Structure 1
C-alpha cells in the first residue's frame, strides 16, 4: 500500500495545502470550505515575505519583495548601495560613552533582518553581530544596521550561492580555468573557499594523471595557492573535516 502525505500549513488566516496526491488536496479543500469561508488563490507564489518560483529543477525561494518593502519602510530605497554588509575590522560593542538610539526601532529592524537571513546567508554573520546589542543599542549599532540595508540595496534578490573561480598553470602556462556559480549554498566564506579547494584538488589530480599518461610524469608536488587562511586551517586540521 502506497502511503500519501498531505500537509496543511497555517499562519493566522493564510494557509498552504500541499500533497503528493492532487485528489487528497481537493478533498481537504472541500472539507475545509464546508466549515470555513475560504478563497483558493491558486499555486503558491508569495507567502510570509517569501516569493516562490518554479522550474524543472524544483522550487526556488526568494525574499526580494521583502527586501524592497523593508527598504521602502526605512526610507533607504534611494540610498547609496555598498559592496559589503559591515565595515572591515568593526569595533561594535557596548561602551560607557555610547550614544543611545531608539531601542524599539532597532529591535524591529534587526528582527526583520533575522527573518530575511533565512534565504540570505550572506548577511547571517552581520545580523548575528547586530542582534547582540538588542538590549542596549547605540547610534553606532544603528549605523551598522543601516549599512546592512545599503548592502541589500546593491542586490535585493541576490542568490545565496557564491561563485567558484580558479585556474591552473603548467610550466608557467595557463592550461585550465573556471568560473561558475556553485551548486550548493555555503554557510560562511571559509566553507565556500574550502569547497573550491576540494574541487580544485580534484582537477589538479586529473591533470597530473593526464600528464603522466602522455609521458610527462610530474616529478614535484603541485603547489596550490589560496587567499583564505581559514580554509587552509580546515584542510590542515583533520579534526575539522566533519
Structure 2
C-alpha cells in the first residue's frame, strides 16, 4: 500500500486545492477552506484504522484524534473559558485516541471493509450528520464537510491501488491489487451491514439547500 506520508500529503494537498477552488467560486468562506483542509486530511487517514502496522496506526490515529478534538473545541469556543476548552480538547483527544479507535482496531482486519467505497460513502454521510446535528453546522456546510472527508477517503483507496499496480516503483503487481478500491468485503455479513447503514442513514441527512445547483453554476468553473 502507499505510505503514510503519501496519504497525508495527497489528502491535505487536494483538500487545499478543492477548498481554494470553492473559495474562488463563492461557495466557501476562508475559514471553511481551513476546515475543509483538515477534514480532507482526516478522510485520508481513516481507512488505515485497520492497519497492521502499529507505528503507522499510532501516527495516523494521533493526527485524526487531534483534528477531531480541535473541531469539537472550536464548536464550543463561545461558551467556555480557555481552561474549560483545553479540558474539553484533552477529553476528546483521549476518547478518540484510546477508546473509539481502540475499539475499531480490535474489531477490524487490514484491507477489510474499511478499505472499500461503501465505507468511504458511509464516512461522508456520518460526517454530514455529526457536523449538522452535533456541531450545529448549516446544511450546506455540513454537506461540504462530508464531501471533504469522502474526498480524502477515496484518494487513500486510489493511492493504495496505484501502489499495487507498481505506479510507485514497486517490483511487480502486488497481491493486494483490488483489495482497497472495492465495493464489498469477502465477508458477507460486514458487507450487508455497511450497505444497510447507508440505507438507514441516507434519509436522515439534512437537505443540501441548493448546494448542487450552486456548485453547477459556480464561477470557479473552469478553474483555469
Give 1 or 2 for the bigger CA radius of gyration.
Answer: 1
Q: Which has the higher contact order (CA 8 A, sep 6+)?
A: 2
Q: Same fold (TM over 0.5)?
A: no
What's the TM-score, normalizing by structure 2?
0.25
Higher strand fraction (1 or 2)? 1
Higher helix fraction (1 or 2)? 2
What's the TM-score, normalizing by structure 1?
0.23
